[in-house]
Amino acid sequence: ERFAELVSRVADLYMVEKEHCRLLWKFRADRHYIFDPDYTRKVTAYYLRMREALAELIQQGMESGELKDIDPQLTAFILLGITEGLEIEWLENEDAFDLKKGLEMVFANLFQSLKK
């Protein structure tokens, strides 16, 4: 339940911060050429915090007995990769793809498969 609520809130945030998402993708492509090192460190730290928070949430789910015994770090990488792939689809096909529904569907199915 907590994770489903988190996914919904993240999807809502994407809708509000669409141009920020575009900028982040531009940043990732050009970060070594056009951004100063301090800005690069800040954005890299942001992604690290997101990955660590996901891994911690997964670890809590395992400790509470809700999730199977899985590698929290690897699973966090996978979740962020899926999220970023859906983000690209949304940015390129906004009229045809509902990001919130996509995120909710993928994560509901994924976490259903990870439950004990």
CA atoms within 13 A on the CB side of 97: 16
Asked if residue 31 has pLDDT above 70, the reply is no
**CB atoms inside a 10 Å sphere around CB 14:** 19
Identify residue 90 by its one-letter amino acid code. Answer: W
Residue 97: which domain range? 2-114
Nearest-angstrom CA–CA distance, 78 and 85: 11
The predicted pLDDT at position 41 comes to: 79
Model pTM score: 0.70
Percent of the chain at pLDDT above 70?
A: 85
User: What tokens does 21 get?
Assistant: 């998402």
Over residues 93-97, mean pLDDT: 91
**What is the domain-level CATH number for residue 57?**
1.10.357
pLDDT digits (tens, 9 = 90+) for 39-79: 777 777 888 888 999 899 899 999 999 999 999 999 999 99
Strand-pairing partners, residue 67, are: 115
Over residues 28-41, mean pLDDT: 68
